[in-house]
């Protein structure tokens, strides 16, 4: 059997290695138009910033190594120009010699990946404008920085690559601005959690121009002007387009394969396209989101590797199925770690799911062990069924551990209430006897039993200030003086029992503290004494982050805050 693979990197290289492990006698050829068969996309910004010093560290395999171990014939700098499904062949051009030839196949795997989205705007492609997707892109940026010593950069786009590059350019001492139309960075996160990301990047000197519409680019004084709608242009020595990627599916379209959203390749759960014997994997294919069931494009290395393995299994006669992508990811942003899995609240609601959520701010390990740091967790679940839908965590050490536990729980179909039952490893340097994941489960279990009733940031503005409800801040007087929500009166939790006579038992009580823990205790005291009580999920720390972030983005002041 002869298998031709178009494209290497994650999906194509994985498929080739898996086929060889299953079939020692198959003939396997990979055509890769770049000069590299398998490289670490996610490491590219860190080479630009000097964290990764040796460029050879970026290349996971060379054609020679791949042939030596797997007897896979890798032809780099070879571009497939056409697919001929009827004749089971592809047309190929050698990009170094210009030679063209035809190559036959018994099975074909498409792993073309995605290309940086190039907006149809005036000035795209001018000097000092870059994209970052391949090793060659990385070398071009690195060479420009080394030779020209630019002092400033504008990044159009605030996703994974944009943020990683922003960090590395700042570490080089450059003035960095991120500009984009969406009003938040990192769309996999909800806006409330993204507020912590915004705070961190601004703390390290990155300027944010969110909600700005880019209308074009022009050269000026050896640099680039970024032209904005209804705003003065921004100027920098260099610009990097990082506004996302588009499935690179021109070959598939020309060959008549069925396409999906944004021109992606449609495949079944065995990764086979509409043309029998032709498979597709990686960033170019449409998948199902495993939580919402909706069609999705998820450009991550993990899914691409799994898809390559599944395509290889099926080609070699081993039935294997892809059950969708969950979108689990993690990123280092200066001093913090941000991680996400499943669906966010916005997308869950768009999919027609009725959602609820809990926020908590636990320490990454036992509080009495030195060096503990807070993390902020948001866990989303379906009302009524308590099906676990997604989670977002922002913090320091231990974030990756918790997101992986929650990812596994979602994949296993656990209910959110079952998180309380997980038997997780504990030692003071690593966790607490009640792990943060367990704590989320305890909170959701309390909701399911009617023990805990909540209100959220978006509810605060709707709370009446006419005396018909009691608004209570259960923190210390010192904390209250540093900042509080207008209309909330201060009774510390530890003196609440002695001051119950100050509260009207006929009125609902809405309670807030710094993180949500003391206000929950206050609610239990109040409920035990006959009051109808609601706890603010996430506490003043979350409220302060969200409202300050909105104020800065909307360039307004005040936003209902007192005492600061």
Q: What is the pLDDT of residues 498-523, one digit of tens each?
A: 999 999 999 999 999 999 999 999 99
Smallest CA-to-CA distance from 69 within 27, 20, 2 is with 20
For residue range 131-142, what is the model confidence (pLDDT) as tens digits?
988 888 999 999
Share of the chain above pLDDT 90, in %: 84
Q: Output phi, psi for 226, to 5 deg.
A: -100, 115
Q: How far apart are the first and last CA of the chain?
A: 72
Neighbours of 57 (CB within 10 A): 13
Chain mean position to CA 148: 32
State the Rg of the chain over Cα.
27
For residue range 30-54, what is the model confidence (pLDDT) as tens digits?
999 988 887 667 788 898 999 988 8
In angstroms, the CA 237 to CA 220 distance is 9
pLDDT for 557 beyond 70: no
In angstroms, the CA 338 to CA 348 distance is 20
- DSSP category for residue 266: P
**How big is the CA angle at 85 (ends 80 and 86), to the nearest 5 degrees?**
135
Lowest mean pLDDT among 55-59, 342-346, 350-354: 55-59
Residues tagged active-site: 42
**How big is the CA angle at 61 (ends 408 and 70), to the nearest 5 degrees?**
90
Please report the pLDDT score of residue 42 as a whole number. Answer: 76
């Amino acid at each position: 059997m002869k298998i031709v693979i178009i494209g290497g990197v994650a999906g194509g290289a994985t498929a080739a290695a898996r086929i060889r492990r299953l079939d020692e006698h198959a003939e396997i050829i990979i055509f890769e138009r770049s000069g590299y068969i398998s490289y670490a996309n996610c490491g590219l910004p860190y080479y630009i910033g000097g964290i990764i010093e040796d460029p050879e560290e970026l290349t996971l395999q060379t054609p020679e190594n791949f042939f030596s171990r797997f007897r896979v014939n890798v032809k780099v700098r070879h571009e497939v120009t056409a697919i001929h499904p009827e004749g089971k062949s592809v047309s190929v051009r050698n990009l170094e010699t210009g030679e063209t030839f035809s190559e036959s196949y018994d099975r074909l795997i498409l792993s073309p990946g995605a290309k940086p989205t190039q907006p149809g705007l005036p000035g795209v492609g001018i000097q000092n404008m870059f994209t970052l997707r391949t090793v060659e892109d990385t070398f071009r940026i690195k060479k420009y920085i080394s030779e020209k010593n630019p002092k400033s950069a504008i990044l159009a786009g605030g996703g994974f690559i944009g943020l990683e590059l922003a960090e590395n350019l700042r570490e080089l001492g450059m003035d960095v601005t991120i500009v984009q139309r969406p009003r938040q960075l990192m769309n996999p996160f909800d806006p409330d959690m993204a507020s912590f990301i915004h705070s961190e990047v601004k703390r390290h000197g990155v300027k944010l121009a969110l909600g700005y519409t880019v209308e074009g680019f022009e050269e000026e004084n050896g640099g680039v002007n970024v032209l904005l709608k209804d705003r003065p242009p921004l100027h920098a020595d260099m610009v990097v387009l990082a506004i996302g990627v588009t499935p690179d599916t021109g070959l598939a379209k020309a060959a008549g394969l069925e396409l999906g959203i944004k021109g992606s390749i449609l495949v079944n759960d065995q990764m086979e396209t509409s043309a029998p014997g032709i498979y597709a994997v990686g960033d170019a294919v449409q998948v199902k989101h495993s939580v919402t069931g909706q069609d999705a494009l998820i450009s991550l290395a993990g899914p691409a590797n799994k898809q390559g393995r599944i395509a290889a299994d099926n080609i070699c006669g081993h039935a294997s199925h892809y059950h969708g992508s969950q979108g689990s990811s993690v990123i280092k942003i200066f001093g913090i770690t941000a991680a996400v899995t499943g669906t966010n609240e916005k997308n869950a609601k768009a999919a027609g799911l009725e959602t609820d959520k809990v926020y908590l701010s636990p320490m990454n390990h036992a509080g009495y062990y030195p060096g503990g740091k807070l993390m902020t967790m948001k866990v989303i679940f379906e009302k009524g069924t308590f099906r676990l839908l997604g989670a977002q965590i922002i913090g320091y050490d231990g974030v990756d551990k918790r997101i992986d536990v929650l990812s596994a729980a979602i994949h296993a179909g656990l209910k959110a209430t079952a998180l309380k039952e997980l038997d997780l490893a504990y030692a003071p340097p690593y966790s607490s006897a009640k792990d943060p994941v367990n704590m989320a489960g305890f909170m959701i279990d309390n909701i399911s039993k009617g023990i805990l009733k909540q209100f959220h940031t978006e509810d605060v503005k709707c709370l009446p200030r006419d005396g018909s409800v009691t608004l209570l801040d259960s923190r210390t007087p010192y904390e209250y003086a540093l900042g509080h929500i207008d209309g909330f009166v201060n009774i510390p939790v530890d003196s609440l029992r002695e001051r119950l006579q100050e509260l009207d038992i006929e009125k609902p009580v809405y309670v807030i503290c710094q993180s949500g823990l003391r206000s929950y205790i206050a609610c239990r005291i109040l409920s035990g004494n006959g009051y109808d009580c609601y706890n603010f999920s996430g506490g003043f720390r979350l409220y302060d982050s969200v409202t300050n972030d909105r104020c800065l983005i909307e360039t307004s002041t005040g936003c209902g805050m007192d005492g600061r």
